[in-house]
Structure 1
Amino acid sequence: MKTRVISPVLSLPHYLFVVALAACMAACPVEAQPGEVLARQVVAESGFQGGLIVVVGGRDADLAVSLGKAPNVLVRWLVRDDAGLADARRKIRDAGVYGRVSAAAWEGDLLPYTDGMVNLLVLQEGQGLDVSRSEAARVLAPMGVAVRSRDGIRAASYYSKPWPEDVDEWTHSRRDANGNAVSKDRRAGPPRFTQWEALPRWNRGTKTSALVSAKGRLFYILDDSHFASDTRTWSLIARDAHNGIRLWRHELPSWGGAGLNKKVGPAQINRRLVAIGDRVYTTLGDGAPVSVLDAASGKVIRVLDGTEKAEEFLVSEGILVALVNASDIKDFWRRLNRDMRIIAVRPDTGKLLWEHEADTVLPMTLTADGRQVVYHDGKSVRSLDLRTGSPRWTSPPTGQA
């Protein structure tokens, strides 16, 4: 396991995480303890943005308590001293963070975690430094960070676990924008064990409306209300893909999955959620425009004008392409002309690139491959240039797909 120094240059979501942690610590009027100083340094320099933190060794609870004040985290402090365990738990309870932060006795050479589960591993003076580099690498999740501190005040070294080359992402409902639902993941196979479990175990019988993954995070839309509740609460939820810790949740005022007493909603409903890198794209309600969210915090970065009533959309080469249908369900059943448009937007700026009017676009036929946008109009397959919207070609009549 090679040791390397991580540059302290902060991305926007990481900067917000550091600010949130600092604000929580600043709320306490007493002078900062060494553990608090180390917590700030570790978060600022490691790039950590939420998930599972494991602290090994150390003599005081300040570090674990300080890390537990950050949002979207679960902290576990492992100590070998059984005599000091009760005192450690008392300090955590007195700090008001028990539950989010906990302490447990630990002995042996192996950390009590399955492979690839921990996002931030802090190895402190004493017992923490006995953990081998190979064992630290084993429990770290991809892009997780291990930190060593010999004096409990300053971080001495960092190790960041790279993303495995044989693990794929699933950014769209059918893997990516080209609609070919075949993963390049070479580790996927029959389940052999349970990595984690999250609530609810039972709900109203509603299936997950959409599910995608990117950069070690899972994003899904689900009616997560209690199965005995009379009220549906559709929500967009983000979890760490390696340990299941919930990072954030957006309750949606309305969602297509709840319409007409259907369990899963319209056929295209699962094509309204895309995640690429540090961004999530979704419609935060029925008929709502597409919003761009920060994947780490769930904060809305931008709302894309002109994408209201998007039935489905995709993102290819940094361009969001949406099928917008201004007609309502009554027009559909009356067989009136549908006001349908395909539009392309730069989600990083909100700039409209082009729009293309179409009488018909068959559901779930909109795809893109980085050069062109392709759809079926009920008679033929049509191709448009991804960047300009100019027609490229039209196939011979194929009939409905």
Structure 2
Amino acid sequence: MERNSHIINVVAIAGMCIALSSYTTVFASAKDENIFTKTGNLKGGFIVHVGCGDGTLIAALGNNKQYVIQGLEKDHEQVERARHTVRATGAYGRLSIKHWQGRRLPFAENQVNLLIIDDGDTGLLASEIKRVLTPRGRAVVHKDCQIAALDTEPVSAEYSSYIKPVPEEIDDWPHYLYGADNNAVSRDQAVGPPQRIQWVCGPAYARSHEINSSMAAMVAAGGRIFYIWDEGPVGQPEKRFPSQWSLIARDGFNGVLLWKLPMPDWGWRQWHVESRWDNPRERASMLRQLPRTTTRRLVAAGQELYVTLGYEAPVSVLYAASGQLLHVLEGTEGTDEILLDSETLFLCVRDTDRTHTAPGRDFRLSQNNGGIVAVDPQNGRILWKSE
């Protein structure tokens, strides 16, 4: 009897050791949470945690609503624990757990911004890690996970990091017509006939063909896309349903929403006479046309975004990763077009006076007098103005 109880105690202790060992790397990961996001300055995107254990790290990282996170775990019991942890955050859906057998990651090419590897018994190859990472994407690997042919650099005592380089054949689209010279031809050599859908986001339809186009401008830079979109009710082109214009940023490789800024001083009421709405013939002609220069109000370059957040607003300089306002360029109210060339902003700045507009006629900035203003984008200093 004593011998049997001794065996039972040994088995119980061994079971506890096995259970505790399954949490070890997860606790280390949760403790080093800042290593994963701050090292790569990741403000938003798609994160995958291989060997997520009980989901502690995913719950901690999930406090940032700009992260979409999926945990991969081989152990069924740990999967259930992790799902329980994630449900408790109230963010299940944006955060999710998947049972995974190892070796091949269940994602398309160029889709993961941050790959955290805490399980060394997965059979992952360096080629598979490089396949799923986006350009500029980062893999953070625990020291106990040996992955051959993956060139990593230490970021802490426990982890090392690999960054996927940007292929030379990929190019940005910083202006409406690519460059400041209005030559709509990029240097991108990766573009070709579509073979699959990389990602999809809503809405599926624009608001209506009886109202201004829902898309006012779009550019791309640094692996992100930026666009001005009317999020008003679809299929309801009535005056009582106002426009809801926003400047929206998404990850260009996986479509994750990074940030959004409302643009209340944008829309047909800014450039159309409201009295024309009551005449059906007038309404049909006026609401199907955006001012021609709205597409030229948005320029992206590196980590900065230049935009007019209202129809008569000055140029705002935003941090592309988060949408944070860096500064407003003084003296640029009424900017009708933005160009960036040779690290200098060239702005077409017009008079915002509406008194010259004939009664019953639409207001267009392009009809007013103006001039060219050259600005240093780093400090906002005006370099010169045209007469």
Match of residue 84 from structure 1: 78
1:143 aligns to what SS in structure 2?
A: strand
Give the Cα separation in 2 of the matches to 1:317 and 1:166: 22
Give the Cα–Cα distance (whole angstroms) in 1 for the partners of residues 333 and 68 of structure 2. 37
Judge conservation of contact 2:338–2:345 (CA < 8 Å) in 1. Answer: yes
Aligned residue number for residue 293 of structure 2: 268
- How many residues end up aligned between the 2 structures? 325
Q: Confirm or deny that 1:253 pairs with 2:264.
A: yes
Could you say what secondary structure the match of 2:32 adopts? helix
Give the letter for the 1:131 counterpart.
L
Percent of pairs identical after alignment? 38
Asked whether 1:172 is paired with 2:175, we answer: yes
Change (3 A) 1:355 1:113: same
Distance 1:60 1:85 in 2: 7
TM-aligned CA deviation for residue 123 of structure 1: 0.7
1:109 aligns with 2:139: no
Q: State the match for 2:15 in structure 1.
A: none
The equivalent of 2:381 in structure 1 is 351
Structure 1, unaligned stretches of length 5 or more? 1-31, 358-401
- How far the C-alpha of 1:61 sits from its partner, in A, is 1.2
2:57 is equivalent to residue 63 of structure 1: yes
Contact 1:257 1:269 in 2 (8 A): no
Is the contact made by 1:123 and 1:146 (CA closer than 8 Å) also made in structure 2?
Answer: yes
Residue in structure 1 matched with residue 200 of structure 2 by the alignment: 197
Residue 331 in 1 paired to residue 356 in 2?
A: yes
Which letter maps to 1:316?
A: D
Aligned to 1:123: 117
Tell me how far 1:350 sits from its aligned partner: 1.1
The partner residue of 1:307 within 332, 335, 338 is 332
Letter in 2 for 1:272: R
Shift of 1:279: 0.3
1:224 to 207, 223, 231: 231
Q: Kindly state the Cα deviation for residue 315 of structure 1 after the two structures are TM-superposed.
A: 1.1
Amino acid at match of 1:87: R
Q: Offset at 1:155? A: 4.0
Name the SS of the counterpart of 1:253 in structure 2: coil
* Further displaced range: 84-93 or 255-264: 255-264
Paired with 2:248 and 2:195, the residues of 1 have a C-alpha distance of 26
Q: How many angstroms does 1:263 deviate by?
A: 4.0
Whole-angstrom CA distance in 1 between matches of 2:369 and 2:129: 57
- C-alpha offsets along residues 204-235 of structure 1, whole Å, 9 cap, x if unaligned? 13341100000000000010222145121011
**8 Å Cα contact 1:256/1:266 also seen in 2:** no
- SS of the residue corresponding to residue 225 of structure 2 reads strand
In the alignment, structure 2 segments of 5+ residues that lack a partner are: 1-25, 146-155, 273-285, 362-366
1:268-307 to 2 correspondence within 5 Å? Answer: 268-307=293-332
Give the TM-score of the pair, scaled to structure 1: 0.76
Between stretches 309-318 and 147-156, larger displacement belongs to 147-156
Note the 1:137-156 alignment, pairs <5 A.
Answer: 137-150=130-143, 155-156=158-159
Shift of 1:171: 0.2
Q: Distance in 2 between matches of 1:151 and 1:60?
A: 19
Summarize the Cα distance change of 1:263–1:72 in structure 2 as closer, same or farther, 3 Å threshold.
Answer: farther
Measured against aligned partners, the alpha-carbon deviations of 1:252-272 in whole angstroms (never above 9, x if no partner) come to 012256643534511111000
- Please provide the CA RMSD for this pair: 2.4
How far does residue 58 in structure 1 lie from its aligned partner after superposition?
3.8
CA distance in 1: counterparts of 2:173 and 2:188, whole angstroms: 10
2:161 is matched by which residue type in structure 1?
Answer: Y
**Secondary structure, aligned partner of 1:83:** helix
